Structure 1
Amino acid sequence: MKPNVVLIMVDQMRADCLSILDHPVVDTPNLDQLARQGVLFKNAFSATPTCVPARAAVLTGMAQTSNGRVGYVDKVPWDYEHTLPGELAKAGYHTQAVGKMHVYPTRNLCGFHNVVLHDGYMHYSRFKHNILEADSFNYSGDDYLPWLKQQAGAKADLNDLGLDCNSSTVTRPWHLPDALHPTNWVVSESIDFLRRRDPRKPFFLKMSFVRPHPPFDPPQAFFDMYKDVDLPEPVIGDWAETEDDERHGFGPVVLKGIVPKNRLKRAQAAYYALITHIDYQIGRFLNSMQEHGVLKNTVFLFVSDHGEMLGDHNQFSKALPYEGSAKVPFILSDPGNILNVEKNRTVEDVVELRDVMPTLLDAAQVEIPNCVDGQSVLPLCANEKMKWRDYIHGEHPRGIESHHYLTNGKEKYIWYSQTGEEQLFNLIEDSGETVNLAGNIEYKNRLKYWRELLINELKGREEGYTDGVSLIKGREPKAILSHLMSQS
């Protein structure tokens, strides 16, 4: 029988928050073990670092320009012909998703046989003034909230703690029993799938957590692990804004600004606590897999859709091209030696979320559709000599901070499309991106090299970012390309 495949996906987890990467405080023993039993990719990126476009890359294996989602837009239908679960289902796999999907319509199966859904707080389906818009009122589609109300009382809701679903600076520990936390629920439902699956088929399970995305609401025991610890200070580049005259940092939802020190420290502690909470629950799931006798014939891939700035450069949340936001954890684990990968090693080659689909199809010995832009990382795991990509191209509309970036894991070039500002970082010597080398005469040729690569990437784009010779600032960015809208 073909191997089982488990995709463990988290939301908004920074790549550096693994103890196996020597993070000064975060403890992730179960993820460390998965890495020891496989390969850890140290230069994995999200090309479009927000939830919707990043998840499109995972499910389709397509680059952002191919899947049409170059930014964040809700309520655009997902009608892709080929998806990761769809291809596995056609190949005889029993496919199941538990937790976050963030697709449209909300109950779109996207190729899965079944979805047990919790997307978290989704504005377009929660705002009461949308109740008459039948096509957008998908609030009843969530599976976790009705269960929570049944367990904790009819008045229980997602916002009981008073925390905003997009605040990266405000926290409060979970107020109900740990078993009722959405992180525990995802694992409980995943364990139940092990009981209910068709034993004649290999299975594909996507176990998808909303956390450590806000709200920052870890169970008290996990918050206590970090609340009194000396936490690392955020890195601040010499190019970063250090004034906050409008006091943006004092609001509950912060994208940039100077946050009160104690509030920031509590947010850091809660963020790290959510990661360790997820880690322990992953350990619970792995124990259950042992009990069901399926651990050794299963391949695992752990990944996040994007990161979290967490105060670096006085920035918060995601959508930015910097390491905290765009770099993600990426672990391929093979505890049963199914794939014959070289264990307990790290890979420096640059990978991207579009590589998830071809990698898992390759592991399952399923043909990879021609529309897939990503590449299987299995040859890299086997330490084979091969030609790999030289860099990845990322982008995201974000108002005045709309940008494009290129990186090979050693250097990073950023172009802000509205202002024309350029940044260049030496990631080997300056992993915190604290020194912008774009104005350094010694890096003139490197700057030109990366700029020309970006011009080539943007040739023919409908936004008009380049004439093929120069980058053109001020062109209005789009979050959805026209070829996707024409299919909707």
Structure 2
Amino acid sequence: MRPNILLIMTDQQRGDCLSIEGHPVLLTPNMDSIAAQGVRFDKCYSTCPVCIPARRSLLSGQYPETHGIAGYYQEAEWEPSIALPSVLKNVGYHTYLVGRDMHQYPQKKRYGYDHTVTYPEYCEWLNSRLSHITCEPSGHYYASGVMHNDRTARPWPHDESLHYTNWTVNEAQRFLQNRDPSCPYFLTVSFLAPHPPLIPPAFYMERYIRTGVPDPVIGEWAKAPAAGGKGNPPDSADISLSGEELLSCRAAYFGLINHIDDQLSRLLRNVEADNTIVIFTSDHGEMLGDHYLFRKSVPYEPSVRVPLLISMPKRYGIKRGKVISKPVSLEDIMPTILELAGVEIPDTVEGSSLLPLMREENVSWRSFVHIEHGEGTVNFQPHHTLTDGNEKYIWFVWSGEEQFFDLRKDPRECRNVIDSEYYKDAAAGWRKILIEKLKHRPEGFTDGEKLISGMPYPAYIGRNQ
């Protein structure tokens, strides 16, 4: 009997934004329960920390170098037969996507999902509800003026039941009630939050204004924006949060996550625990003012590390509450799902199944994760980054600047020790690994002996299979 599979995905949720990780104020009891009933991977990384490539990596099991997208580039189709929903559909799964789309291109191309119910359907539903209740001409999700990359925040202006997060769970429940019971299902529940707009229902924003929020982490190496960021547009990637702006921005972000968590309670109560695998993750994180930065794409932990929680039926024999600190990535989710479901893993998949790690089998595992980001829509330098979760080496492509962080002693990346004599050999070792990793790339990042800075690095590598 093949298991049902519930893949829950938030957008832009930091890896440290779980109360089970010891967050000082954030409440996530339902997310925590998935971890407590299964396994938590506390060193899971997004190999290209921006929406489109991250989601393509998850759905294909391929690294950005292979699927061709290393930044925010939408207009590239890819072979649908290798996508996770297609593989599961071909062995009899009822496949369904609700909520935020997976950045498919074209948008309505389903890549193996039998049906998708996403943002256009939500807007139509919201408009109809608001027109009926208030005769407002538009219920557009962004009608408050707080936009999709803004640091500005305010409470959701309508009844909580009309929020995109509530609607997403409603549609997931509708599927569970109406699905084909003769076959297993693969249900992807994709939330837009906590990605901006930072508009949680009022209760959730007020909760974190009341409890207070932790201050941003500012590294010794970080540079404050000119004039403290005053005059920068609301979606600027450079930010110096303080006062009301700091409190509102961070309270709204935490509130959006807490709101999702409460809604997950409604969803998880309808799941058959004895035959359902539940996976919770996110596509990338959010800097949230740390190191004077906002949004994602940069190589720092708040941007690149994401939650990964997996629970499964008892028959798999996995020890509950286990925490695994091996370096893993979103590419590992597809082969893990397929192995758990007893489905052959296609040769196109580059990630590795996490099942041997969860079973505590004596298997070799990768020693690091390669993270990259090319030219993007924000003023961040392209970079290549290597990390094993204990150390991190960063090379900025255009300037050639390097950074090195000892995450064991400095998990918040406050001290760049690239010039430290103590870390000289470690940094040289990582640099050598990166040279080897990049020597076959078409961009010309290395001649095989040294890294070459200043090379063009387009978001679309153009190496689609």
Is the TM value for this pair above 0.5?
A: yes
Q: Which residue of 2 aligns with 1:149?
A: 127
Aligned equivalent of 1:163: 146
Answering whether residue 195 of structure 2 is matched by residue 217 of structure 1, we say no
The residue that corresponds to 1:107 in the other structure is 108
**Whole-Å separation in 2 of the counterparts to 1:361 and 1:284:** 27
Question: What is the deviation of 1:230?
Answer: 2.7
Partner Cα distance (2:109, 2:99) in 1? 13
Normalization by structure 1: what TM-score?
Answer: 0.91
Deviations 1:56-81 (A, max 9, x none): 00000001111111111122223343
**Could you say which residue in structure 1 is the equivalent of 2:34?**
34
Residue 256 (str. 1) matches residue 238 (str. 2):
yes
1:270-293 Cα shifts (integer Å, max 9, x gaps): 00000000001111101223xxxx
**Mapping of residues 335-484 of structure 1, within 5 Å:** 336-397=313-374, 398=376, 401-484=381-464
Provide the rounded CA distance (Å) in 1 between the counterparts of 2:436 and 2:111: 33
**Any idea what SS the aligned residue of 2:214 has?**
coil
The residue type equivalent to 1:152 in the other structure is L
Check whether the contact 2:41–2:325 (CA below 8 A) recurs between aligned residues.
Answer: yes
- Secondary structure of the residue aligned to 1:405 is strand
Deviation digits for residues 100-142 of structure 1, max 9, x if unmatched? 2221111110111111112xxxxxxxxxxxxxxxxxxxxxxx1
In structure 2, the CA distance between the partners of 1:177 and 1:243, relative to structure 1 (3 Å rule), is closer
- Mapped contact 2:404–2:427 kept (Cα < 8 A): yes
Letter in 2 for 1:305: D
Q: Secondary structure at the match of 1:447?
A: helix
Aligned 8 A contact 2:225 2:238 in 1: no
Q: Tell me, yes or no, if the aligned pair for 1:71 and 1:480 is still in contact at 8 Å.
A: yes
Greater mean deviation of Cα atoms: 209-218 or 66-75: 66-75
* Distance in 1 of aligned mates of 2:61 and 2:406: 29
Tell whether the 8 Å contact from 1:406 to 1:412 is kept in structure 2 after alignment: yes
Counterparts of 1:426 and 1:148, CA distance in 2: 48
Query: What one-letter code is carried by the residue in structure 2 that aligns with 1:156?
Result: G
Which of the numbers 169, 180, 192 marks the counterpart of 2:162? 180
Q: 1:466 to 1:264 in 2, by over 3 A?
A: same
Q: Name the SS of the counterpart of 1:274 in structure 2.
A: helix
Q: Which residue of 1 aligns with 2:181?
A: 199
Please tell me whether the aligned partners of residues 249 and 260 of structure 1 are also in contact (alpha carbons under 8 angstroms). Answer: no
* SS of residue paired to 1:81: helix
Q: Does the CA-based 8 Å contact 1:249-1:259 persist in structure 2? A: no
Distance 2:319 2:244 in 1: 44
Tell me how far apart the structure 2 counterparts of residues 249 and 19 of structure 1 sit (CA, whole Å): 35
Report what 1:16 is aligned to.
Answer: 16
Task: State the one-letter code of the partner of 1:72.
Answer: Y
Partner in structure 2 of residue 327 of structure 1: 305
Whichever residue aligns with residue 227 of structure 2, its letter is D
Deviation at 1:482, TM superposition (A): 2.6
Deviation at 1:250? 4.6
Cα deviation, residue 242, structure 1: 2.6
Q: Which moved more, 1:322-331 or 1:222-231?
A: 222-231
Equivalents in 1 of 2:27, 2:226: separation in Å?
33
**3-state DSSP of counterpart to 2:218:** coil
Q: 1: CA distance between counterparts of 2:231 and 2:241?
A: 4
Could you tell me which residue of structure 2 aligns to residue 138 of structure 1?
Answer: none
One-letter amino acid of the counterpart of residue 242, structure 1: A
Q: Distance in 1 between matches of 2:227 and 2:192?
A: 33
**Gap runs ≥5 in structure 1:** 119-141
Counterpart of 1:288 in 2: which secondary structure? Answer: coil
Shift of 1:247: 2.9
Rounded Cα–Cα distance in structure 2 between residues aligned with 1:197 and 1:404: 43
Letter in 1 for 2:185: F
Alignment of 1:44-193 (within 5 A): 44-100=44-100, 101-118=102-119, 142-153=120-131, 154-167=137-150, 169-193=151-175
Instruction: Report the AA paired with residue 91 of structure 1.
Output: V
Change in CA separation of 1:282 and 1:400 when aligned onto 2, cut-off 3 Å: closer
Cα distance between partner residues in 2 of 1:352 and 1:272:
24
Shift of 1:260: 4.1
Report deviation, 1:232. Answer: 1.0
Over 3 Å counting, the alpha-carbon distance change for 1:400 and 1:198 in structure 2 is: closer
Cα drift, residue 339 of structure 1: 1.9
Give me the whole-angstrom Cα distance separating, in 1, the residues matched to 2:31 and 2:115.
Answer: 26
Q: Assess, with a 3 A threshold, how the Cα gap between structure 1 residues 5 and 400 changes in structure 2: closer, same or farther.
A: closer
Structure 1 residues 61 and 248: CA distance shift in structure 2, 3 A: farther
Paired residue secondary structure (2:144): coil
Distance in 2 separating the partners of 1:370 and 1:77: 20
SS of residue paired to 1:374:
coil
Distance 2:208 2:342 in 1: 43
Q: Equivalent pairs: percent with the same residue?
A: 42
Deviation string 1:225-257 (CA, Å, 9 cap, x unpaired) is: 101223111111111003523735753112013
Indicate the residue corresponding to 1:136 in structure 2. none
Alignment correspondent of 2:134:
none
Contact 1:78 1:103 in 2 (8 A): no
Deviations 1:1-41 (A, max 9, x none): 21100100000000001011110000000011110000000
Instruction: Give the Cα–Cα distance (whole angstroms) in 2 for the partners of residues 401 and 95 of structure 1.
Output: 38
The CA distance in 2 between the partners of 1:247 and 1:23, in whole Å, is 27
How many Å apart are 1:261 and its aligned residue?
2.6
Q: 1:20 to 1:358 in 2, by over 3 A?
A: same
Q: Once the 2 structures are TM-superposed, how far is the Cα of residue 400 of structure 1 from its aligned partner?
A: 5.4
Q: Under a length normalisation based on structure 2, what TM-score does the superposition of the two structures give?
A: 0.96
Query: Which secondary structure state, in structure 2, belongs to the residue aligned with residue 271 of structure 1?
Result: helix
Q: Say if 1:35 and 1:253 are closer, same or farther in 2 by CA, change over 3 A.
A: same
Q: Determine helix, strand or coil for the equivalent of 2:97.
A: strand
* CA displacement 1:154-193 (0-9 Å, x = unmatched): 42212211101111x2111111111110000110000000
AA partner of residue 27 (structure 2)? D
Distance in 1 between residues matched to 2:109 and 2:273, nearest whole Å: 29
Cα distance in 1 for partners of 2:294, 2:231 equals 10
The alpha-carbon distance between structure 1 residues 458 and 249, as it changes in their structure 2 partners (threshold 3 A), is farther
Gaps of 5+ in 2: 132-136
SS of 1:272 mapped into structure 2: helix
What is the rounded CA distance, in whole Å, between the counterparts of 1:257 and 1:199 in structure 2? 50
